[in-house]
Structure 1
Amino acid sequence: MASPFFIPVDIAHTALLLSDVQTQILQRFPSEVQKNYIGNIKTLLDYFRTEITKRRSNKASTAGYTPYDGVPLIVHHTLPFNLNSNAFVSPYNKLSKWVEQLEKAGYFANAPSDPHHPHYGIPAELTPPGSWGNKDEIVLGKLQPNCFGSSDLVSYLRARGVRHIVLVGLTTMGSILGSARGGADLDFHISCVEEGIMDDDAEVHKFLMTKVLPKFVDVVDLQDILRL
Structure 2
Amino acid sequence: MPNHRPNAALLLMDLQNAIASRFEGNSAAMLPFRKALDAARRHDIPVIFVRLAFREGFPEVSPRNKSFSRIADFGWGRMTPSDSGAQIHESVQPLPGEPIVTKLRVSAFAGSDLEVLLRSRGIDTLILGGISTSGVVLSTLREAADKDYGLTVLSDACLDGDPEVHRVLTEKVFPRQADVLTVDAWIEALA
Confirm or deny a common fold (TM above 0.5).
yes
Instruction: Identify the match of residue 108 of structure 1 among 52, 77, 86.
Output: 77
Please list the CA deviations of residues 69-102 of structure 1 after superposition, one character each: whole Å capped at 9, or x if unmatched. Answer: xxx3110000025x31333221111113552312
Partner residue of 2:48? 75
Contact 1:9–1:164 (Cα < 8 Å) also in 2? no
**Structure 1 CA distance for aligned equivalents of residues 14 and 70 of structure 2:** 14
- AA matched with 1:45: L
1:50 aligns with 2:47: no
TM-score using structure 2 length: 0.87
The match for 1:224 among 173, 176, 185 is 185
Partner residue in 1 for 2:116: 155
Counterpart-to-counterpart distance in 1, 2:24 and 2:50: 23
* Correspondence for 1:60: none
State the alpha-carbon separation in 2 of the partners of residues 175 and 164 from structure 1: 17
Deviations, residues 10-37 of structure 1 (Å, cap 9, x unaligned): 4x711000111111111222512xx212
Q: Does 1:138 align with 2:99?
A: yes
Q: Judging changes above 3 Å, is the alpha-carbon distance between structure 1 residues 98 and 175 closer, same or farther for their aligned structure 2 residues?
A: farther
> Which residue in 2 is equivalent to 1:124?
90
Please give the residue correspondences for 1:1-228 in structure 2 after superposition, counting only pairs within 5 Å: 10=5, 13-32=7-26, 35-52=27-44, 72-80=45-53, 83-102=55-74, 105=75, 107-108=76-77, 113=80, 117=82, 120-128=86-94, 131-132=95-96, 134=97, 137-227=98-188, 228=190
Count of aligned positions: 186
Deviation string, structure 1 residues 146-183 (Cα, Å, up to 9, x no partner):
11222111111111111111000011111111000000
Higher relative contact order (CA 8 A, sep 6+): 1
User: Could you tell me whether the CA contact under 8 Å between 2:62 and 2:69 is conserved in 1?
Assistant: no
TM-score by length of 1: 0.74
- What 5-or-longer segments of structure 2 have no aligned partner? none
Provide the aligned C-alpha RMSD in A: 2.2
Deviation at 1:39, TM superposition (A): 1.2
1:108 partner SS = coil
Q: Find the structure with the greater CA-based Rg.
A: 1
- CA deviation profile, 1:26-82 (whole Å, cap 9, x unmatched): 1222512xx212111111111111222xxxxxxxxxxxxxxxxxxx3110000025x
SS at match of 2:122: coil
Rounded Cα–Cα distance in structure 2 between residues aligned with 1:98 and 1:209 = 28
Letter in 2 for 1:51: H
The residue type equivalent to 1:75 in the other structure is: I
Amino acid at match of 1:122: I
> 2:102·2:112 contact (CA, 8 Å) conserved in 1?
yes
